Amino acid sequence: MKCPLCDSDLVEKMEKKDKAVFKGEEVEISYYIYHCEKCDEDILDSESLEQSWRKIWNAYEKENNYQSHKKLKEPRENLNLTQEELATLSGKSKYL
Ligand SMILES: [Zn+2]
Q: How far does the centroid of ligand 1 lie from the alpha carbon of residue 45, in Å? A: 15
Distance separating alpha carbons of residues 14 and 44, to the nearest angstrom: 10
Q: How far does the centroid of ligand 1 lie from the alpha carbon of residue 49, in Å? A: 21
- H or E element: which one contains 78? helix 74-90
Query: What is the average per-residue pLDDT within 31-42?
Result: 95
> Which residues have beta carbons under 5 A from ligand 1 (an ion)?
3, 5-6, 36, 38-39
Report in angstroms the alpha-carbon separations of 67 from 13, 17, 57, 61. 35, 28, 12, 7
Q: For 46-59, what is each residue's pLDDT tens digit? A: 999 999 999 999 88
Indicate the domain borders of the chain: 11-64
Better-predicted residue by pLDDT, 86 or 48: 48
- H or E element: which one contains 18? strand 11-22
**Least confident stretch, 21-25, 52-56, 62-66, 70-74:** 70-74
What is the average pLDDT score of the chain? Answer: 81
SS3 category, 7: coil
Distance separating alpha carbons of residues 46 and 25, to the nearest angstrom: 22
